[in-house]
Amino acid sequence: MLLVTCLNPALDITHHVPAVDWAGVNRPTAVFARPGGKGTNVARVLRSFGMSVLLTGFAGGTTGTAVETELGRLGVPTAFTPVAGETRRTFTVVDGNPGGVQVRVALFNEPGPEVSEAEFTRFRRDYDTVLTNASVVVLSGSLPPGVAPDGYARLIEAANSAGVPAVLDTSGEALRAGVAAGPAIVKPNLDELGALVGSRLRTPAGETDLAAVTAAAAALRADGAGSVVVSLGPGGLLAVTGDGCWRALAPVISAGNATGAGDAVTAALAHGVILGQRWPERLRHAAALGAAAVAAPVAGEFSVADYEAGLRSATVSAYQDGDR
């Protein structure tokens, strides 16, 4: 079983409004309410591959119930730890009809419930219990308010003690502390990696500086991460591992929604661990899935045809400093 932990899930509400009056009353022509948070996207992608998945984290209030209900409807098994606060909502206003030209998009992200020390302790107990049945654990997304920056680090230590490889996708201090705890794989994107190491990873012309990215990823390995896979958006993936460095590229077929593409990559990396894939094969899988996720309009979803096309067109090559 793949254990996916999403400590701060969300209910993502989207309103499509043909021509928004930003200072008046609007009637959306289409309304969507979907489970959100990076971990929920990871779990949905893994379910699409027929994998046994358990999604854990915190859920509270009627919004928490809504998230659990929607995940159940999507066939994703959950075992959330209850929290006294209310699970967060994100609210997106799209100025335009679904499928039409989008003029502007405004997002409003609630912070999520404050998690008490006792609630985190309760989660730790639940986590330790389900960890015994897990082959891999994915820790994905931001930490909710109240959880200390070493929250993921403690979960990674527990996974390491149980002999379960951990895949970490987060940012900031949670990423820094998590790396030090020794996860099998971390998957920062370019901005997250740059913020962590405090160095520019783009050339003055705005292009990705692959040499700087490689150095930064190597620094994360030196700090404790087993392997580092950096997602570069349209620039594919750059992996720095104990077995070598690789660059994976999969041409994006059609631009849809980049949100969730990184989560698809994370899901593929965890899936690859379970399948025992070697790195080149695993990165091809991840790059193809990331490209297919961009082509899909909804985070956590992809079409099998796009994924298979991505597998055929993806290139994976050993990377050496100086390559572009």
Instruction: Examine residue 104 and tell whether it contacts a second copy (CB under 8 A).
Output: yes
Nearer to a second copy, 103 or 305 (CB): 103
Q: Is 191 a residue of the active site? A: no
Amino acid (one-letter) located at 198: G
Residue pair 221/240 in contact (Cβ under 8 Å)? The answer is yes
Q: What are phi and psi of 276, to 5 degrees?
A: 70, 25
For a second copy, which residue of 48, 52, 77, 91 counts as binding (CB under 8 A)? 91
Are the C-beta atoms of residues 135 and 275 closer than 8 Å to each other? no
Among residues 12, 263, 306, 321, which one is catalytic?
263
106 binds a second copy (CB under 8 A): yes
Which among 268, 44, 5, 1 is positioned nearest to 158, based on CA atoms?
5
Binding mask 126-165 for a second copy (x = CB under 8 A): ----------------------------------------
Render 175-238 in DSSP notation, one character per residue.
HHHHHHT--SEE--BHHHHHHHHTS--B-TTS-B-HHHHHHHHHHHHHHT-SEEEEE-GGG-EE
Given 1, 18, 26, 182, the residue binding a second copy (CB under 8 A): 26
Q: Convert residues 64-83 into a mask of x (bound to a second copy by CB under 8 A) and - (unbound).
A: -xx--xx-------------
DSSP classification of residue 248: E
- What is the token pair recorded at 112? 């999520």
Binders of a second copy among residues 28 to 67 (CB under 8 A) are 28, 31, 33, 61-63, 65-66
Q: Work out which of 93, 147, 220, 299 binds a second copy, going by CB under 8 A.
A: 93
201 binds a second copy (CB under 8 A): no
Contacts with a second copy: how many residues (CB under 8 A)?
33
Beta-carbon contacts of residue 248 (< 8 Å; ≥ 6 apart): 236, 237, 238, 239, 283, 284, 286, 287, 314, 315, 316
Of 48, 52, 109, 135, which lies in the binding site for a second copy, with binding defined by CB under 8 A? Answer: 109
Q: What are the residue ranges of helices labelled H in 132-209?
A: 151-161, 172-180, 190-197
- Shorter beta-carbon distance to a second copy: residue 110 or 126: 110
User: Does 17 contact a second copy by CB under 8 A?
Assistant: yes
Active-site residue set: 263
- Report the interface residues with a second copy, using CB under 8 A: 13, 15, 17, 20-28, 31, 33, 61-63, 65-66, 69-70, 86, 89, 91, 93, 104-111
